Structure 1
Amino acid sequence: MPRFSVIVPVHQVQAYLHECLDSVLGQCFGDFELIAVDDHSPDSSGEILDAYAAADSRVTVIHLAQNGGLGPARNTGTARARGDYVLYLDSDDTMAPGTLRALAERLSATSDPDVLVFDYAPAYWDGSLGPAAHPPVLGPDAGPAVCTLAERPELLRLPAFPWSKVYRRDFLLRENLTFPPGTYEDTPWNFPVLLTARTIATLGRVCVHYRQRRGGSILTTTGRRHFDVFDQYDRLFAFLGTRPELERWRPHLHQRMTDHFATIHSSPGRLPRTARAEFLRRARSHCRRHRPAPGAVGPPDTTARRLRRLLVRCGAHRTFRLLSHAGRARRLLGARLRTARSRLRTARLRCHYLLQRRRPLDPRLAVFDAYGGRGYSCNPAAIEAKARELVPDIRTAWICTPDHAHTLPPGVGHIRPGSAAYWTALARARFLVSNVDLPHGYRKRPGQILVQTHRGTPLKHMGLDLMAYPAATDGTGDAGATGGTDFARLLEHTDRWDYSLSANPHSTLVWERAYPSPYTTLEFGQPRNDIFRTATAADVARIRAELGIPDRVTAVLYAPTHRDYQRGRQPWPDLARLVAALGPSYVVLFRSHPLHAGEGLPCEPPGGLIDVTAHPSVEELCLASDVLVTDYSSLMFDYANLDRPLVIHAPDQEAYRAARGTYFDITAMAPGPVARHEDELIDLLATGAHATEHARARRAAFRRRFCPWDDGHAAERVVRHVFLGAGPPAVRGRVLSASDAPGPASPAQPTPLAPLAAKDWWSCPASASSYRCSRSRATCASVSTRYSASPSPTSNS
């Protein structure tokens, strides 16, 4: 007997049916049966179902001789179901990845309730997903884990979608609950379910993506079928009449019915214009027929809702329509007023900025920004800290949103993006340091110094190199400096730079071609990596304790990047399965890309999985971990400084390179083993194949190419050169080895790095031809010789 019976009624949905069925059959939780009911569909839906049934034994297809509607089709599937729990899914919707596993975990954690209510999100025609529909009601802090309707009456206010719940089959049989025929069949199903359930649990996770069709759905089709709602509420109150103990819920249901009538009447496109007055007259009759007993009090509500219910109960069609039109006009006027206020504020700030530009520069003010205000991090943070240490009279200010203000250290000023103080700082600061572009409205003044630190070593194409990759420049991803396709504006922004910070010879070649402007390249290394050379074993132990990593446990940091070519779900491994396969001697630190925060995690993460997406310092996460697993993130270049194992998980390398472009094949010169799929990744980690001598040799070669200047003093070099006008320091640091991090993994001894000679650089697969560089091979070879002319900054590592 399976855990779940997933019932899919099918009628004239051939365009969406494949996606729906694939979303169920592709679940990582396999203990289910899928029962598809062909409701005498006139299109090819029946043949599609038969093909799926022939290919997968979990699929059962039932063909009905005539069309009966959603309700009878669901009843047919329920009668055939064998699972512990029944789950309905409309054939044009999709099940979110990991849903069945999350439902199974939640049901077990709540002692198998009669009903589990979960959340959903709208899915639009352009492929985008809206936010979760009801987090305040279904979130983890909304109420007790298991309850009755008396304890959570607000559940009656949720939409009556049958596919937003999972039902214990024994409960449905015990209460003899079935769907009626006709439209709005979910009304006399949903409320009896909630009223009779002895235990109800909630799950604040999006489990269904609710397709918002542009046409063809019941709710967007004009006709008299919407009059079926009156019969459905007659059935509901008839059920209530057979259960005297439920009579106290009549006021709640009466309010719900009145609101439903008002919604149908006011929704454009449902009722024929000539039928609206008739609909409201019948609504008035139903409100009188099923009204509560005198003195019965329903739940409190707003004045606007009470007025709307009064008009429905009175059948005041013209007044109702007049107020509806007035409400639309008020909302339209409000939107226009908000737009006008926004434009006025923008104009005022623009005038303020122009006035501030007429004031002299403040030679002691330095403004820093990382990721457009997302907290104190990356190269600007390392430079800011070193500037306060070496330049005591400097005043630093950090551009930061209020949500990230807690990441700022004491003594650092906080500037909210877009505020008057923000534009004052941009107009008067002598120094500006950022890893992203400043706003287009900013105009650089004579005497201002702008340092572009970038955000790591580039693997994926950046800047002008993206012109050949339109999929990566549609404005949804990280398209270099602008995040869009306006390359002329990109060059305008690049022309502002005074200095471009380079982490290695590879970065120098890429930046100077991808962002061709007359700036000065500072070949000083990556300031954010200084901590890898200065941190101590005590620092590592402290960070691991703060993250809750047990002693003698191997910490795996999994940090995937964003895919420009793919919206929504990214090709990440099943983290719950990964944790279960590795066992108690491992813990997985999951850090998703900011564009996918919260995605990929199980609803209730197991004990060996820690979500560190919101942690302010990725460098501290690197220090706390024993091994890094990533795909195409630039974090791999930073992590190589630690000389700890790295694993490249590249299940979609061909698609990623085709859509975004990469400067070299990372799988050919990876800093460790490469996993092409989830099973291979688990095997590499579980067997220790990620930490072999061969992997260590590949890691050493990777460091020689991409970490030649990371000696722990990159930030100091930037501060001395930019802020003080002095030369870079000559001192060198040490490599923090894996033995400094507590854990069961065998310590990997750091390998000394040889000076980077020209022949070493050109033996790298990422040669000049790979870069499509306009420079000659001889010119680039001379550049590489210049890099190695002085003593190697990592010769003692």
Structure 2
Amino acid sequence: MTAGALKVSVVVPTYNSGEGLDRLVASLLRQSLPADEFEVIFVDDGSTDTTPARLDALAAAHPHFHVLHAERSGWPSRPRNLGVARAAGEYVQFVDDDDWLADEALARLYGYATEHGADVAIGRMVGHGRSVPRDLFRVNRPDATLADAPLMESLTCHKMFRRAFLSRHDLRFPEEGRKRLEDHHLVTRAYLLSRRTCVLADYTCYHHSRRPGGDNLTAAPIEPEGYFRSLREVLDIVDAHTKPGPLRDRLHQRWLRIEMVRRLRGARLRNAPRDWVDGVVAEVGRTVRERFAPGVAAGLPALERTIAGLAERGRVEDLFRIAGWEAGVQAKVRLKTYELTGHRLTVAVSGRLRSGDRPVSYDRTPDGRELLDLPVEEVPTELVDCSDELLTATDELRRPRLDVVARRVDDGDEFYLPVSFEVDRVPHRWGGLRLMWHGRTTIDFRTLNGGRTRGEWILTTRLTGSGCEADAKLPLAVTCAGDGARPLVVDERQPPPRPAQPARATGPWQRLKRAVRQRLGRSAGQSVRTS
């Protein structure tokens, strides 16, 4: 194998991975890209179990597998940097030791990257116990930019980078101890410097998994002060490459929504220790005041805007009240009709959002504004004002949406389906308004997932509005016997068919015998009751 022939170098940091590596290794050995066109570089971070010996055995058995043994650093940054320094491929793909790749991932993503001349190529991800950026993978994006695509929703490093691009800009992971958000430091700079970034959405490339027991080192609870110090360093990267204005505000919004507001929502906040919450609220408030222009929070949906505003004001008790309310938010969806015609399944649904026994609702003020009704008092009107997002919002983040998602049971593949929908504002019996969603989609099982449809599928409706989002499974069981096969659809609302009963004889002699048996049965019952 010559260095010039290598297309991809896969870099995998490991630490005490043990048998947890097996699924990843199996997926690497199944790659459709020929073994002489890619290499795998395992960088072991001072494991103390059998992992080093397992890796050495793999390298001895497979010439395109290599192992670097490093002193313990305690964080994945240094192992990844060592792997990049050793890499010889045209592109570098980062993979974690508890994740795995789809069989054609390297071939498809490399082909897509070279076809479009990309510095960064992002393959569709599926989460197994971990969240992944769903909206980014709605469609293929051969030339995605920070201005027209939600790239900032995906800041983990599990992507394919042109190696020359990494070298030209000295893109490396920070190695100053256990720095949180180490992926953000590299990937944010990469997005801002990339000449072209592409997103491959029509094939699942990467399976992102949480290690059994949840003992991923970087998944441990954050220490607020150090975490937000690192976050502000990432904001420094954004500020160094952008000017004040709408683009910078939109980029900053990503960290406000996901790293700050999301930590103060629903069951996640309600179940957190109070001293930890106080620390997070203090850091969020400081960051909002010191680093964000007014347009950052103002561009959020009403619920997220309210949480950010209450955190800025230090109103922790009110945050707990909203968290309890939000933990009860559910999507109530009704399957109105469905029809299977050949390979095409058409579904119509309607739905609403509720919290407990009351709808998620809006109060209308005398001047015509519509305010999100939340279980807190004395909230500044500008925080809960939904008028723009209910009437005129053009920002996808703030606009109410209805999505239908098809999910394959065996591997978790998810696909957004093309949906036509409308959202009505209707009065409810407690006063005020609530939203009603109505939508319709058609699924062609000859083309869904490129015709790879074998298996059982679940259909889910997702309602989004004013910062709330909830899913509801539709009562349809869909199964394809083979790829591209006509689906079998079972309505789970219908009772199972009764077993066939043997035909009853209807001749005169049979009728006489039944009459005699019935008369004898009644006589026996009377004799028992009167004895």
| Residue deviations 1:745-768 (CA, integer Å, cap 9, x gap) | xxxxxxxxxxxxxxxxxxxxxxxx
Give the match for residue 324 of structure 2. Answer: 325
Does the residue aligned with 1:29 lie in a helix, a strand or coil? coil
- Aligned: 1:162 with 2:144: no
Question: Contact between 1:37 and 1:73, CA under 8 Å: does it hold in 2?
Answer: yes
Give the match for residue 509 of structure 2. Answer: none
Give the match for residue 20 of structure 2. Answer: 16
Alignment of 1:629-668 (within 5 A): none
| Residue deviations 1:476-528 (CA, integer Å, cap 9, x gap) | xxxxxxxxxxxxxxxxxxxxxxxxxxxxxxxxxxxxxxxxxxxxxxxxxxxxx
Which residue of 200, 203, 209 corresponds with 1:203? 200
Structure 1 residue 568: Cα displacement? 4.8
Pair 1:568–1:150, CA change in 2 (3 A): closer
* Letter matched to residue 83 of structure 1: G
Question: Contact between 2:453 and 2:484, CA under 8 Å: does it hold in 1?
Answer: no
Question: Contact between 2:298 and 2:305, CA under 8 Å: does it hold in 1?
Answer: no
Pair 1:286–1:162, CA change in 2 (3 A): same
Pair 1:106–1:223, CA change in 2 (3 A): closer
Does the residue aligned with 2:98 lie in a helix, a strand or coil? coil
Q: Based on CA coordinates, which of the two structures has the bigger radius of gyration?
A: 1
In 1, Cα distance between equivalents of 2:19 and 2:275: 33
* Letter matched to residue 145 of structure 2: T
Structure 1 residue 254: Cα displacement? 2.5
* Letter matched to residue 29 of structure 1: L
Pair 1:136–1:591, CA change in 2 (3 A): closer
In 2, Cα distance between equivalents of 1:62 and 1:123: 28
Alignment of 1:187-198 (within 5 A): 187-198=184-195
Give the match for residue 338 of structure 2. Answer: 402
Does the residue aligned with 1:275 lie in a helix, a strand or coil? helix
Give the match for residue 145 of structure 1. Answer: 142
In 2, Cα distance between equivalents of 1:168 and 1:319: 47
Give the match for residue 256 of structure 1. Answer: 254
Does the residue aligned with 2:455 lie in a helix, a strand or coil? helix
* Letter matched to residue 27 of structure 1: Q
Question: Contact between 1:137 and 1:155, CA under 8 Å: does it hold in 2?
Answer: yes
In 1, Cα distance between equivalents of 2:33 and 2:343: 39
| Residue deviations 1:6-39 (CA, integer Å, cap 9, x gap) | 1101112213112212211321202111111111
Unpaired runs of 5+ residues, structure 1, are 125-129, 346-400, 409-413, 418-565, 570-589, 598-611, 619-797
Does the residue aligned with 1:404 lie in a helix, a strand or coil? strand
**Equivalent residues, number:** 355
Structure 1 residue 51: Cα displacement? 1.2
* Letter matched to residue 96 of structure 1: A
Which residue of 228, 232, 252 corresponds with 1:234? 232
TM-score under structure 2 normalisation?
A: 0.59
- Aligned: 1:27 with 2:31: yes
Question: Contact between 2:269 and 2:277, CA under 8 Å: does it hold in 1?
Answer: no
* Letter matched to residue 160 of structure 2: V
In 2, Cα distance between equivalents of 1:36 and 1:42: 15
Question: Contact between 1:118 and 1:203, CA under 8 Å: does it hold in 2?
Answer: yes
Question: Contact between 1:221 and 1:270, CA under 8 Å: does it hold in 2?
Answer: no
Structure 1 residue 613: Cα displacement? 4.7
Question: Contact between 2:13 and 2:97, CA under 8 Å: does it hold in 1?
Answer: yes
Pair 1:201–1:17, CA change in 2 (3 A): same
* Letter matched to residue 319 of structure 1: D
Give the match for residue 66 of structure 1. Answer: 72
- Aligned: 1:120 with 2:114: no
Pair 1:416–1:15, CA change in 2 (3 A): closer
In 2, Cα distance between equivalents of 1:270 and 1:82: 47
Does the residue aligned with 1:90 lie in a helix, a strand or coil? coil
Pair 1:278–1:57, CA change in 2 (3 A): same
Q: Which has the higher contact order (CA 8 A, sep 6+)?
A: 2
Structure 1 residue 614: Cα displacement? 4.4
Question: Contact between 1:178 and 1:189, CA under 8 Å: does it hold in 2?
Answer: yes
In 1, Cα distance between equivalents of 2:192 and 2:67: 32
Give the match for residue 56 of structure 2. Answer: 50
Question: Contact between 1:222 and 1:270, CA under 8 Å: does it hold in 2?
Answer: no
- Aligned: 1:287 with 2:282: no
CA RMSD of aligned residues (A): 3.9
In 1, Cα distance between equivalents of 2:183 and 2:303: 26
Give the match for residue 315 of structure 2. Answer: 316
Q: Which is helix-richer, 1 or 2?
A: 1
In 2, Cα distance between equivalents of 1:617 and 1:20: 32
Give the match for residue 504 of structure 2. Answer: none
Alignment of 1:694-709 (within 5 A): none
In 1, Cα distance between equivalents of 2:486 and 2:82: 53
* Letter matched to residue 258 of structure 1: L
In 2, Cα distance between equivalents of 1:235 and 1:415: 49
Which residue of 76, 88, 111 corresponds with 1:105? 111
Unpaired runs of 5+ residues, structure 2, are 349-408, 413-449, 458-481, 489-531
Give the match for residue 39 of structure 1. Answer: 45
Does the residue aligned with 1:61 lie in a helix, a strand or coil? strand
| Residue deviations 1:104-145 (CA, integer Å, cap 9, x gap) | 2212332x2111122111236xxxxx9x955643243x6x52
In 2, Cα distance between equivalents of 1:402 and 1:258: 40
Question: Contact between 1:222 and 1:271, CA under 8 Å: does it hold in 2?
Answer: no
Which residue of 82, 90, 94 corresponds with 1:84? 90
Does the residue aligned with 1:162 lie in a helix, a strand or coil? coil
Q: Which is strand-richer, 1 or 2?
A: 2
In 2, Cα distance between equivalents of 1:58 and 1:278: 47
Does the residue aligned with 1:67 lie in a helix, a strand or coil? coil
Alignment of 1:683-698 (within 5 A): none
Give the match for residue 277 of structure 2. Answer: 276
Pair 1:258–1:21, CA change in 2 (3 A): same
Question: Contact between 1:187 and 1:232, CA under 8 Å: does it hold in 2?
Answer: no
Question: Contact between 1:119 and 1:133, CA under 8 Å: does it hold in 2?
Answer: no
Question: Contact between 1:4 and 1:33, CA under 8 Å: does it hold in 2?
Answer: yes
| Residue deviations 1:351-386 (CA, integer Å, cap 9, x gap) | xxxxxxxxxxxxxxxxxxxxxxxxxxxxxxxxxxxx
Pair 1:57–1:270, CA change in 2 (3 A): farther
Which residue of 66, 81, 96 corresponds with 2:102? 96
Question: Contact between 2:113 and 2:121, CA under 8 Å: does it hold in 1?
Answer: yes
* Letter matched to residue 284 of structure 1: G
Structure 1 residue 593: Cα displacement? 6.5
* Letter matched to residue 85 of structure 1: Y
Structure 1 residue 248: Cα displacement? 5.9
Pair 1:407–1:318, CA change in 2 (3 A): closer
| Residue deviations 1:224-268 (CA, integer Å, cap 9, x gap) | 3x5432122222133234435587643123322222122234436
Structure 1 residue 404: Cα displacement? 1.8
* Letter matched to residue 197 of structure 1: S
Pair 1:64–1:149, CA change in 2 (3 A): same
* Letter matched to residue 33 of structure 1: E
* Letter matched to residue 16 of structure 2: Q
In 2, Cα distance between equivalents of 1:17 and 1:270: 33
